[in-house]
Amino acid sequence: MRRMTARPANAHQARLLRLLRDGGPTSRAQLGDWMDLSRSRLAVEVDRLLDTGLVIADGLAASRGGRRSHNIRLAPTLRFLGVDIGATSVDVAVTNAELEVLGHVTQPMDVREGPVAVFEQVLAMAAKLRGSGVAEGFDGAGIGVPGPVRFPEGVPVAPPIMPGWDGFPVREALSQELGCPVMVDNDVNLMAMGEQQAGVARSAKDFLCVKIGTGIGCGIVVGGEVYRGTTGSAGDIGHIQAERDGRPCACGNRGCLEAYFGGAALARDAEAAAREGRSAELAARLEAAGSLAATDVAAAASAGDAAALDLIRDGGTRTGQVLASLVSFFNPGLVVIGGGVTGLGHNLLAAIRTQVYRQSLPLATGNLPIVLGELGAVAGVIGAARLISDHLFSPA
Partner DNA sequence: AGTCTTTGTCCTGAGACAGGAGAAAGTCCA
Partner DNA sequence: TGGACTTTCTCCTGTCTCAGGACAAAGACT
Q: For its own copies, which is the closer residue by CB, 125 or 193?
A: 193
Q: For DNA, which is the closer residue by CB, 64 or 202?
A: 64
Partners of residue 95 on adjacent β-strands: 80, 101
- Please tell me whether residue 331 binds its own copies under the rule CB under 8 A: yes
Range 248-277, binding its own copies (CB under 8 A): 251, 253
377 is in the binding site of which of its own copies, DNA, none (Cβ under 5 to 8 A by kind)? Answer: none
Q: Which residues bind DNA (CB under 7 A)?
A: 10, 12, 27-30, 36-41, 43-44, 60, 63-70
With CB under 8 A as the contact rule, the residue among 21, 211, 239, 386 that binds its own copies is 239
- Please tell me whether residue 80 binds its own copies under the rule CB under 8 A: no
With CB under 8 A as the contact rule, the residue among 115, 142, 146, 235 that binds its own copies is 235
- Please tell me whether residue 203 binds its own copies under the rule CB under 8 A: no
Q: How far is the CB of 70 from DNA (least distance, A)?
A: 4
- Please tell me whether residue 233 binds its own copies under the rule CB under 8 A: yes
- Please tell me whether residue 329 binds its own copies under the rule CB under 8 A: yes
How far from 359 is each of 316, 321, 326, CA to CA, in Å? 14, 7, 11
Q: For its own copies, which is the closer residue by CB, 63 or 230?
A: 230
Taking a C-beta distance cutoff of 8 angstroms, is the pair 21, 7 a contact? no
Q: Contact region for its own copies (CB under 8 A) — 129-137, 282-290, 365-373, 376-384? A: 365-373
With CB under 8 A as the contact rule, the residue among 42, 180, 220, 335 that binds its own copies is 220
326 is in the binding site of which of its own copies, DNA, none (Cβ under 5 to 8 A by kind)? Answer: its own copies
- Please tell me whether residue 321 binds its own copies under the rule CB under 8 A: yes
70 is in the binding site of which of DNA, its own copies, none (Cβ under 5 to 8 A by kind)? Answer: DNA
60 is in the binding site of which of DNA, its own copies, none (Cβ under 5 to 8 A by kind)? Answer: DNA
- Please tell me whether residue 215 binds its own copies under the rule CB under 8 A: no
How far from 196 is each of 144, 235, 308, 380, CA to CA, in Å? 16, 17, 32, 11
Q: For its own copies, which is the closer residue by CB, 275 or 358?
A: 358
Q: Using CB under 8 A, list all residues that contact its own copies.
A: 148, 157-158, 205-206, 218, 220, 222, 227-237, 239-241, 244, 251, 253, 321-322, 324-326, 328-333, 358-359, 361-364, 366-368
